[in-house]
Amino acid sequence: MEQCKCSTQIRGLTVRKRDGVIIHDVTLDVHHGEIMAIIGRNGAGKTTLLKALLGRIPYTGSITFTNPKGERVEKPRIGYVPQNMVFDRSTPMTVADMLCANLSSFPIWLGHKKEKLARADAMLQKVGGKNLLQKQLGNLSGGEMQRVLLAFALEPMPDMLLLDEPVSAVDRKGIEVFYDLVTSLRSEYHMPVILVSHDLSHVARYATRAALLDRTILVSGDVKTVMDSPQVRETFGLDVVGGARA
Ligand SMILES: Nc1ncnc2c1ncn2[C@@H]1O[C@H](COP(=O)(O)OP(=O)(O)OP(=O)(O)O)[C@@H](O)[C@H]1O
C-alpha cells in the first residue's frame, strides 16, 4: 500500500464568525508519521481548526500540504472521524448500506454488488469490526459506531486523519482498541493524525506531540513539555505528572 504523504503547515490561520474571532493567528506544523493532539478548554476552537483543515469553513492565513519531498499537494485526501454523528436511530440503514454507498454510485435500494460488499467487509476487518456489516446503524454501540466511522474515513486511504473526540461514549476497552488501531495506522502507513481530545491521559499515552489551543496556540511541542507547561496546568486546573492526573 502506498505510504501516506502529507505534512501540513498552518500559518496565521484566523476564523471569524458573525460574533467575532473564533481562532486567531494559529501557526502549527504537523508532520507525517506523528499523532498531534490538540487540547484545550470547551469552546477553545479545536473543532473549528479541524473544519478549516477540511476546507469546510472560510479562513484567512494559509494551510499548506506537502509530500515527503517537500512538494505541494493541492488536494490531499483527509479522513475525518467526527465528534458524533446525528442521525435517526430508527433508520433501517445498515453498516453495509453506509459503506457501500461510499464505494459506488449504485443506488443502495437495488442491493449491493458482491465485490462492494466484500470491500466493505474488508474495510471493517481493518478496524476490528468484522461482524458489523449487517447491523443497523441505530443498533450500534458507541464503540462500534466509532469503528464504522473510522472504516469510512479510511476508504480511500487518506493522506491525513483527523479525529475529533473519537472516544466519547466508548468504554475503556473500546477506547484502547480504538487508539491501538490509530497507532497501528500511524506506524503501518506513516499516516499523520490530528487528534482533538480532552483526556490528557490518552494524549500522554498515544500522541507524539501536543498543542494547547485557546483561540490561538498557547504552547506546542513534545507531549511531556506541553503537559508540564504552566499553560496546561492553568487551563485544566490540575497537576499533570507524565501526562496523568497526580
Ligand atoms: N458556526 C458558528 N457560528 C458562530 N459561532 C460558532 C460557530 N461554530 C462554533 N462557534 C463558536 O466558536 C467557539 C469554538 O467552537 P469549537 O466547536 O471550535 O470549540 P471546541 O474547542 O471544539 O469546543 P468543545 O471542546 O466544547 O467541543 C465556540 O464558542 C462556539 O460557540
DSSP string, 28-40: EEE-TT-EEEEE-
User: What distance in Å separates the CA atoms of residue 202 and residue 222, rounded to the nearest whole number?
Assistant: 14
* pLDDT greater than 70 at residue 197: yes
Q: What's the DSSP call for residue 136?
A: B
For residue 189, which phi and psi values (nearest 5 degrees)? -110, 0
User: What distance in Å separates the CA atoms of residue 163 and residue 47, rounded to the nearest whole number?
Assistant: 10
Best probe residue, ligand 1, of 18, 26, 48 (max atoms within 8 Å of C-beta): 48
pLDDT band, very low/low/confident/very high, at 1 (cuts 50, 70, 90) = very low
CB of 19 closer than 6 A to ligand 1? yes
Helices (H), the chain: 46-53, 95-103, 114-126, 142-153, 172-189, 200-206, 223-227, 230-236
Q: Is residue 156 reached through a cis peptide bond, with omega within 30 degrees of 0 on the bond before it? A: yes
Residue type, 239: D
Q: Are strands 60-66 and 7-17 parallel, antiparallel or unpaired?
A: antiparallel
Please write the tens of the pLDDT for every residue from 100-134. Answer: 887 766 555 556 677 888 888 888 888 888 789 99
pLDDT at position 243 is 45
pLDDT band, very low/low/confident/very high, at 6 (cuts 50, 70, 90) = confident
> Per mean pLDDT, which range of 99-113, 148-162, 204-218, 229-243 is the poorest?
99-113
CB of 38 closer than 6 A to ligand 1? no
User: What distance in Å separates the CA atoms of residue 78 and residue 157, rounded to the nearest whole number?
Assistant: 9
Residue with cell 435500494: 109
- Mean of all residue pLDDT scores within the chain: 85
pLDDT at position 208 is 94
Q: What domains can you pick out in the chain, each with its CATH number?
A: 1-77+160-166+189-246 (3.40.50.300)
pLDDT band, very low/low/confident/very high, at 141 (cuts 50, 70, 90) = confident
Please write the tens of the pLDDT for every residue from 31-84. Answer: 988 999 999 999 999 999 999 999 999 999 999 999 888 889 988 999 999 877
Which cell numbers in the block locate residue 126?
A: 481493518
Please write the tens of the pLDDT for every residue from 167-180. Answer: 656 777 777 878 88
How far does the centroid of ligand 1 lie from the alpha carbon of residue 220, in Å? 21
CB of 197 closer than 6 A to ligand 1? no
3-state secondary structure of 235: helix
Q: Which residue has the higher pLDDT, 151 or 37?
A: 37
Q: What's the DSSP call for residue 158?
A: P
CA Rg, the chain, in Å?
Answer: 19
pLDDT at position 3 is 52
